[in-house]
Structure 1
Amino acid sequence: MPELPEVETMVRGIRPHVAGKIIRTVSECRCPCKPISITPTVRTMQRRAREQTITSVDRLAKRVVLHLSSGDAFVIEPRMTGLMLLADPPSTEHLRICWTLSDGESESKLWFWDRRGLGTVRLYRPAEFDELRTVKLGPDALTIDREEWTQRLQKTNRAIKVAMLDQKIVAGIGNLYASEILHLSGISPFTLCSSLTETEIDRLHDAVRQILSDAIRYEGSTLSDGTYRNALNKAGGYQNEHRVYARAEELCPTCQETPIQRVVQAQRSTFYCPICQSSPPESA
């Protein structure tokens, strides 16, 4: 489930405790569950990263990035159930990777935990990281401007909700926040990108900034499965602010007249108000 707000919260949580420290070891934890994707091998990671300083900790779309003094970068993609933790993992059997860090006087641990095993941990060389950042991903959802939104949306005839999940169009928005953004902007999830007006794109752009910024302030959304936790194993708070996500059949908080509807688009659940976000589903 981790999307941009949750990953940003992870980054902010670990940055003060990780940046500037030296990597002593990189090790794979014993896990009886489905293995995660690790590239290159952990042995190669250990050889390349040992005694390197973590110069900075950043977010790239829905990924955590540990930049090393060598120019290499660890890129951790949590996907559905991955977490970056400093302490108190929800369960020890789902620990995947451990970084042992040193400040010259004492050692500490940074863990990647993943219950379902869908996450990835990769160590990129500088050129590989540049390709990921500039070719494989679109602009970040928090920094994209209105003009670029317009240009990118005009290139596709897909429904807006489906297009928002395409990380090559805009990076960082996932299924949960796409529904929330569209409800706040008053745009139907079935609206074709090519038919969006300038006013609608302006509302969409403003809603992206507001929803994602608010979710970061609340440290992300912890849903009913309880999987997402911040770096100190604490729950987020934005789930209490959701307008439509996972609220099917509840009254819309905006119009207070119509129950929230749930439909499936591109094999993902979409939640919306048919009154506040009116347009015929036939346009999907």
Structure 2
Amino acid sequence: MPELPEVETVRRGLQQQLAGRRIERVDVGRERVVRRTSREALIDGLTNTTVLRAERRGKYLIMPLDSGDSMMIHLRMSGQVLLAPAGADRPAHTHVVMHLDNGTECWFVDPRTFGEVVVYDPANVAVELPPLAQLGADPIAEDFPRTALRKMVRGTSKALKPFLLDQQYVAGIGNIYADEILHRSRLRPERPANTIDAAATWRLHSAIIDILMASIEVGGSTLGDAQYVDVDGESGSFQNEHRVYGRTGERCSTCGRGWIRRIVAGGRSTHYCPICQR
């Protein structure tokens, strides 16, 4: 958390408010967020550059710069990217501040410091950012035909839940949306991927697209910790539409008969309805 819908919501805010802005100065506090390179590398790589646009691959925010390099931001567990007027009170755990040419600031805030900010050479991404180079298909940002998903599931005996969480297959899906997608697909999370037929694969494909797009439309999911917000500090509301995630012991709102159960699948807490997902 955040997952693809939350990161896409942040990307859209950055495209509106950061793209085209020149970064005049950069402050870096906690060095853990620049651990892949260094404080100096981030400051040198961003100062006096212009952000051309905001892009996304999976859970990674990518902002090409007019220098030819790109800035990558990964929110991981608790990261936030916020935009505010210069001089506004900054939240605790604001680790990177970008001072922009229009009198605003872009903050990277991360209480748990698992997130990171990096400037890298896109031509050398496989060396500088291997996880980004190894990402699978992004079901929203790229072409994602049903036939591609069919080939993926036929080629692995992984259970469906770990399959959806594996970023080298489909990029951007995490624990929340894997549970919701499998419920919509009427598929058990522990079922081996290569045992589902073509019809089930088509349901899975449709659920991936539909669930992710529906969440993006309402700004993603903000859970009880309220750590995910968009660039203006606003919460999402898709958590109100969750059918199984975080609803252990509740009656299934889809079938009205099953009770939501929690198991561990692929080492992750997993929620499903035993009636809908036989």
TM-score strictly above 0.5: yes
Deviates more, 1:157-166 or 1:146-155: 146-155
Structure-2 separation of matches of 1:252 and 1:244: 7
Kindly indicate whether residue 62 of structure 2 is the aligned counterpart of residue 65 of structure 1.
yes
Q: Show the 5 A alignment for 1:262-281.
A: 262-278=262-278
**Match of 1:244?**
244
- Cα deviation code 1:65-96 (max 9, x no counterpart): 11101221111110111111113999622111
Deviates more, 1:174-183 or 1:40-49: 40-49
- Cα deviation code 1:151-199 (max 9, x no counterpart): 1222211101111000001101011000000001111111101101000
Tell me, yes or no, if the aligned pair for 2:69 and 2:119 is still in contact at 8 Å: yes
Structure-2 separation of matches of 1:130 and 1:261: 40
Displacement after TM superposition at 1:42 (Å): 2.0
Query: Which ranges in structure 1 are unaligned for 5 or more consecutive residues?
Result: 279-284
Displacement after TM superposition at 1:146 (Å): 0.8
Tell me, yes or no, if the aligned pair for 1:164 and 1:170 is still in contact at 8 Å: yes
**Match of 2:156?**
156
Deviates more, 1:237-246 or 1:42-51: 42-51
**Match of 2:115?**
119
Kindly indicate whether residue 89 of structure 2 is the aligned counterpart of residue 85 of structure 1.
no
The 3-state SS of whatever aligns with 1:211 is helix
Structure-2 separation of matches of 1:15 and 1:249: 41
Question: What letter matches 2:210 in structure 1?
Answer: Q
Structure-2 separation of matches of 1:121 and 1:207: 32
- Cα deviation code 1:132-160 (max 9, x no counterpart): 58841001022421111111222211101
The 3-state SS of whatever aligns with 1:92 is coil
**Match of 2:221?**
221
**Match of 2:257?**
257
Displacement after TM superposition at 1:251 (Å): 0.6
The 3-state SS of whatever aligns with 1:219 is coil
**Match of 1:95?**
94
TM-score of the aligned structures, taking structure 1 as reference length: 0.90
The 3-state SS of whatever aligns with 1:275 is coil
**Match of 1:109?**
105
Q: 1:38 aligns with which of 29, 35, 38?
A: 35
Question: What letter matches 1:140 in structure 2?
Answer: D
Query: Which ranges in structure 2 are unaligned for 5 or more consecutive residues?
Result: none
**Match of 1:141?**
139
Displacement after TM superposition at 1:128 (Å): 2.7
Structure-2 separation of matches of 1:74 and 1:220: 23
CA RMSD, aligned part only? 1.9
Displacement after TM superposition at 1:23 (Å): 1.4
Structure-1 separation of matches of 2:220 and 2:180: 13
Structure-2 separation of matches of 1:113 and 1:267: 28
The 3-state SS of whatever aligns with 2:148 is helix
Tell me, yes or no, if the aligned pair for 1:26 and 1:42 is still in contact at 8 Å: no
Tell me, yes or no, if the aligned pair for 2:161 and 2:266 is still in contact at 8 Å: no
Displacement after TM superposition at 1:36 (Å): 2.8
**Match of 1:282?**
none
Displacement after TM superposition at 1:21 (Å): 1.0
The 3-state SS of whatever aligns with 1:100 is strand
Structure-2 separation of matches of 1:130 and 1:219: 31
The 3-state SS of whatever aligns with 2:247 is coil
The 3-state SS of whatever aligns with 1:233 is coil
Structure-1 separation of matches of 2:5 and 2:115: 17
Structure-1 separation of matches of 2:89 and 2:225: 12
Identity %: 38
The 3-state SS of whatever aligns with 1:66 is strand
Change over 3 Å in CA distance of 1:136–1:90 after alignment to 2: farther
